Chain A
Amino acid sequence: MAVILESIVKYVANVEVSRTESRLGRYQEGSPMIEGEQVTPMRMRMNQAITRAISDEMELDPRVVVFGEDIAVAEGPFKTSEGLLAKFGPLRVRDTPISETGFLGAAVGAAMTGLRPVAEIMFIEFVGVAFDQVVTEAALMHYLSAGRFNVPMVVRASVGSGLGFGCQHSQTLERWMLGTPGLKLAVASGARTAYGLTRAAIRDNNPVVILEPRSLYGERENVEVGEQSIIELGTAETLQSGGDVTVVTLGQTVHVGLEAAASSSWSADVMDLRSLMPWDKEAVIQSVRRTGHLVIVEENQYTGGWGTEIAAHVMSKTFSDLKAPILRITAPDVPVPYGLELEQRFLPSATYVSEQVSALLSTKQAPAPWWEEYL
C-alpha cells in the first residue's frame, strides 16, 4: 500500500465538494477543445485530443496537475494544453522555467507525495537534460521503497522527424528508455490513440512516458470521447487484417505501414503496437503464427532500434512458424539530416516498405536496405 499524505486526503475531499457544484460548467461553451456540436465521435486534431484527455482526467481527479515550458499562458508550443489554465487555474496548470531537471524532478516528488503530475517535454531530446529523473529516480522509487511509494507521473514528449527541425529536434528516442524496469512507455499514432493512451497513462500508478509524433499534432481523426476510449497500456491494435504478413508499426510509421499495405499486392495484418513497455507480445505472436512473416517498420535508426526487441522475442517464440527471416525496416544509422529531400529519404516511405515487403515475400530472404551501399 503506497503512502498517502493526510494533506492530499483533505485536498481531494475539498475539491470533491466544489467540483460537484461546477461540474462541466463553462467547459462546453466556446471551448477551443471542442469544436461544433457535442457529438461523439468528434473530429479532432491530435493536439486537441491530448488536451481533451488531460482535461477529462483533471475533471475527474483533482490530484492531476500539469506543467511544462509555455504550457499554461501560451497554451503549449504545440497547443496541447489549450484552455487548461483558464479552466483549472494556476494552481494546477503551471509554466516552468526552461529547467527540465528541475521540473521533472519536481514531478517525481509531487507524484510520490500524492499529486499526479503530467509534465510536458517540448522535444524528446530535452529529456536528455533530465534523464536521471526519468530513468534513475522516477523508475526506481517504487522498487527502492519496497512498494511503499508510487510515482504516478506522466512525461509527454513530442518526437520524430519530417518537419525540418534538424538532428537535435527530430529523433524518436524510444530506445533511450526501452528496457528500464519501473517505467512504462507508449507511443501515440494519432488523435484517437493519443486520447486513449494519455488518459490511461494519467491513471497509471507508475511513471509513464508518452511519445507524440510531432508531425501528427495537426492531423484530424474521429475520437470517441469518454471512458470507453481509454486504451490499456500494453495492448496493440490490429488496424487491418490480412494473411500474408504481419506488419508491426508504431507512431508515425503506423500510417506508412497502412499506406504501404493499401497499395501492395500482399495482404497484411497491420498492427499499431501503441505501447513498448509493456508491449503486446501475445497479439504479435498470434498474428505471426498465422502469417509466418513479420515485418517491423521503425522510424528510428537500425542499430538498437525498438524493433530489435520485438524481433528477438517473436523469433524465439515462433521460429518454426516463420517462413522467412524477420525484416526490420528502419532509418539508416546516421543523425537525422536537415535538408527536406534528405530528411524524407531518411524516413522509411510507404513505397519503400511496399517494395521491401514484396521482396521478402517473393524471395524468402531479407532484402538489403537502401542505405547499405552508402555504409
Chain B
Amino acid sequence: MTAKMNNSGSEQIQRRLELSSSRLSRLERMMEIRLVEDRIQDLFARGLISGTTHTSQGQEAVSVGLGVATRPTDVVCCTYRGHGVALALGIKPEAVLGEVLGRQIGCMGGLGGSMHLSDPDVGLLPTFAIVGAGTPVAVGAALTFATTQSDGVAVSVFGDGATNIGGFHEGLNLAAVWNLPAIFICENNLYGEYSPIASTTAVTDIATRALSYGMNAEVVDGQDLDAVEATIARAVARARKGDGPTLIEAKTYRYVGHSRSDKATYRPEGELEAWLARDPITLFGAKLAENGELNGQTVDEIFERQRGLINAAEEVVLASPPGSIPQMFAHVLAPATH
C-alpha cells in the first residue's frame, strides 16, 4: 500500500493480524462492531451527531470473516454501511467513532463522516457512498495486482441492492474477462434501502448472477463466521493462484433500518426475531464455549470488557477537537511527486 498516514499504522495492522491468530479475538471483534454500531445510534439519539448513518448490526460475521481471510496488504472497497468492515480490517474504534462525530481523531480527520471511512494501512479505500461505485474500483485494484504480478487480492463489499446497478454488472464482467484477482462479496440482508429484495431484484440468489459472467460463485450462511471465513478463504486462494474472480453471496440481515431515519416498519412480523435467534455473535460465542476456547471466561464477561473499551474510546473521541478549517483545504489536489 501507499505511505502510512500516521504512525498508528502498525497498531491497526496488529489488530488485523490478531484475527488470524486467535479465534477469541474474532468473537471480541464482532462484539466490538456491535457495540460501536449501537453506540453510534446512541450518539445520534443524544444529538451529538448530525446527518445520517448506516449501521450493520447483525452482519458482523461477514465483516470479521473478511478480516480473517484477507491480508492488510489486500485492498477492500466497501459501501457506506462500512463501520463494521473498517473495524474488522483493523481500524480502531476511536478512529471510526471519531470520524462519525467529525473529530480530528477520526480516520479522515472528521472531513469524511460516517459514510467515508478509510485507512490505507489496512487496505481500506475510502468507503463509497454511491451505490455500485466501489465494485469497478475494486476491479481496478485487482488490475494493479495482476499487472504487477503480485499475489494481492481486491475485494468489493456491497449489499443486495447494489446488484441492480450498472457498475456491478460492468465490474463483474471486466473482472471475469480479464481473469483478475477480485472477490465480490454481497451482503444480502434482504432489503435494498426500504425495499424487500423481491420487489427490486429478478433473482432470489444473487450468486446466480455470476453465471452471466462465467464466474465462480458461492452462497454462504452469513451468520456463521467459520463458514464465511472458509468461503472467502477459498475465493482468496483461487484469486491468489490466478484462477480468477468469485462472487460470494452471504445471506445475512441488518437488525436496524437502512439509515438513521428508517424505523424498518416494512419488515414482516417475526422476521427480525427469527434472525435474532441466529445472531452471529451468539452462535460463535456458543461454539467457542463448547470447544473450550474462551480462556475460562463467559461470553457475557467478554462482552462487558468490550463495552468498557468502547466506553473508554468514546471518552477519548469526545475530547478530540472537531476538524479544523485549514484541513478543509489540505487535500483537494495531490502535490507533485519529486
A contact residues vs B (CB 8 Å cutoff) = 69-70, 73-74, 77, 95-102, 125-126, 128-129, 163-169, 332-335, 337-342, 345-346, 371, 374-375
Contacts and interface: CB of A to CB of B under 8 A. Distances in A.
A339 B165 contact: no
Contact of A337 (B49, B111, B128, B165): B111
Interface stretch (B33-41, B112-120, B212-220): B112-120
B192 A165 contact: no
A169 B115 contact: yes
Nearest to A339: B102
B21 to A, nearest CB: 35
Contacts of A333: 332
Q: Describe A's contact surface by its main secondary structure.
A: loop
Contact of B111 (A77, A98, A339): A339
Interface in B97-113: 99, 102-103, 108, 110-113
Most chain B beta carbons < 10 A, residue from A101, A168, A335, A338 = A338
Given A97-B161, A98-B164, A129-B167, A339 B193 contact: no
A340 B165 contact: no
Interface of B: 49-52, 99, 102-103, 108, 110-116, 128-133, 161-162, 164-167, 192-195, 199-201, 261, 266, 322-323, 325-329, 332
A260 B133 CA distance: 40
Contacts of A337: 110-111, 323, 327-328
B51 A163 contact: yes
Contacts of B328: 332, 334, 337, 342, 345-346, 374
A100 B108 CA distance: 29
Nearest to B129: A168
A134 to B, nearest CB: 15
B200 A95 contact: yes
Given A95-B200, A101-B166, A342 B115 contact: no
Nearest to A76: B194
A98 B112 contact: no
Contact of B200 (A97, A101, A338, A342): A97
A129 B325 contact: no
In order of increasing CB-CB distance, the 9 nearest A-B pairs are A164-B51, A339-B102, A338-B113, A164-B50, A97-B164, A97-B200, A168-B129, A166-B113, A74-B194
Contacts of B112: 166-167, 338
A168 B130 contact: yes
A335 B50 contact: no
Given A74-B195, A164-B50, 17 more contacts: A74-B193, A97-B161, A97-B165, A97-B200, A98-B161, A129-B166, A163-B50, A166-B115, A167-B111, A168-B130, A169-B115, A169-B129, A332-B329, A334-B332, A338-B108, A341-B102, A371-B329
A99 B115 contact: no
Q: Which of A77, A168, A332 has the most CB of B within 10 A?
A: A168
Contacts of A100: 165
Nearest to B323: A339
23 contacts: A95-B200, A97-B192, A98-B162, A98-B165, A99-B164, A101-B166, A128-B130, A129-B132, A165-B113, A166-B112, A168-B128, A168-B129, A169-B115, A333-B332, A334-B329, A334-B332, A339-B322, A341-B323, A342-B111, A342-B322, A371-B329, A374-B325, A374-B326
B277 to A, nearest CB: 27
The residue in B111, B115, B164, B261 that gathers the most chain A C-beta atoms within 10 A of its C-beta is B111
Contacts of A339: 102-103, 110-111, 113, 322-323
A338 B323 contact: yes
Contacts of A95: 195, 199-200
Contacts of B200: 95-98
A129 B130 contact: yes
Contact of A98 (B51, B116, B132): B132
Given A97-B164, A166-B51, A126 B130 contact: yes
Contacts of B113: 164-166, 338-339
Contacts of A342: 102, 110-111, 322-323, 325, 327-328
A225 to B, nearest CB: 27
Contacts of B329: 332, 334, 371, 374-375
Contacts of B322: 339-342
